[in-house]
Amino acid sequence: MNEPAEIRSFVAELLRRKGDQAPFTDSESLILGGRLQSIDAVEIVVFLENRFGLDFAAIGFDQTQIDSIDLIAALTGKRPAAESTAGLRSL
């Protein structure tokens, strides 16, 4: 699964757990638009740190950074080169 698809799947599951099964676009505002809450933002941050090696302590955090699938996918592309290729070496 590619990164945007994996991110989309994770966010869709968060929405489903809240009873929200309405479709959403990759550019749609999910947190500021009210579909996800701050606790959901924490879950997204933990997911991104664990799955993609992002370090929000180093890059800083603002919920607007993770307000849409497009924004989240852009963040995963900002990993340091050593971290982004580490997974490829283990394949």
Domain that holds residue 44: 3-79
Burial code (b: 16+ CB inside 10 Å, e: under 16) for 46-72 equals ebbeeebebeeeeeeeebebbbbbebb
Considering the domain boundaries, does residue 68 fall inside one? yes
CATH number reported for the structural domain that contains residue 16 in this entry: 1.10.1200
- Segment among 14-18, 26-30, 71-75, 85-89 with least mean pLDDT: 85-89
CA distances (Å), origin 83, targets 58, 70, 91 = 14, 21, 14
pLDDT interval class at 1 (50, 70, 90) = low
Considering the domain boundaries, does residue 30 fall inside one? yes
Q: What is the pLDDT of residues 43-87, one digit of tens each?
A: 999 999 999 999 999 988 899 999 999 999 999 886 543 343 344
> What is the spatial distance between Cα 1 and Cα 3, in angstroms, rounded to a whole number?
7
Q: What's the total number of domains in the chain?
A: 1
